[in-house]
Amino acid sequence: MSSLLLAFLLFMGIFFCHSSFAQEAAEEDPIILRDRSIKDPKTATILSAVLPGAGQVYNEKVWKVPIIYGGIITNAYFAEFNNRRYKVFRKALFALDRQEPNPAFPNLNRDALVRNVNYWRKNRDLVFVFFGVIYALNIIDAQVDAHLSGFDISDDLTLKLEPSFESHSAGGNTFGMSLKLKF
């Protein structure tokens, strides 16, 4: 376990220190002059894939990190709970098959034990699917948020409802209401 942790820390150290060997750019370099609030979607995606929540921190949306880890921790709890119940019923089923006394569930027959084993196994496996969904949503959220970081959300957006009048080339006129979006 410690060698795996050491390998992970070494990988993270190399991953986050890759830009320390870069040359300094000239002052007129357009990369230096670009807006710092615009985030790179590729960087946000990679960060979230390596460490859930790191892309959200990169995008400066730190408030999302507790939601991500809350989902992961809740999922871990239910995975452990469902696995524990699955093992209890499986052990009782094996004891019944060996014709040993079953003190845990004396009133359940073999069919009821099989149903319970299948139920708790299905629930446990479904929780692992939710792990994948939370992980994928974490990555998608970081990437989409980085893509939208350059989107203009200024106060100059207005929506007006006003009367309209149009003249047609065939000689007819049209009166109505128009909805105009100004940005």
* pLDDT of residue 103 exceeding 80: no
Residue 148: DSSP 8-state: G
8 A C-beta contact, residue 93 and residue 118 = no
- pLDDT grade, residue 33 (50/70/90)? very low
60 near 50, Cβ under 8 Å?
no
Could you tell me which residues are beta bridge partners of residue 174? Answer: 166
Tens digits of per-residue pLDDT, 69-84? Answer: 999 999 999 999 999 9
The per-residue pLDDT for range 157-178, each reduced to its tens digit, is: 677 888 888 888 877 888 888 8
| Span 3-12, pLDDT tens digits | 555 555 555 5
Beta bridge partner(s), residue 15: none
Is this prediction's pTM over 0.75? no
**What is the C-alpha to C-alpha distance for residues 170 and 175, in angstroms, rounded to an integer?**
15
Q: What is the dihedral of CA 42, 27, 37, 53, to 10 degrees?
A: 40
CA distance 138 to 134: 6
Lowest mean pLDDT among 18-27, 95-104, 174-183: 18-27
What DSSP string describes 6-48?
HHHHHHHHHHHTGGGGPPPPPTT-HHHHS-TTSPPHHHHHHHH
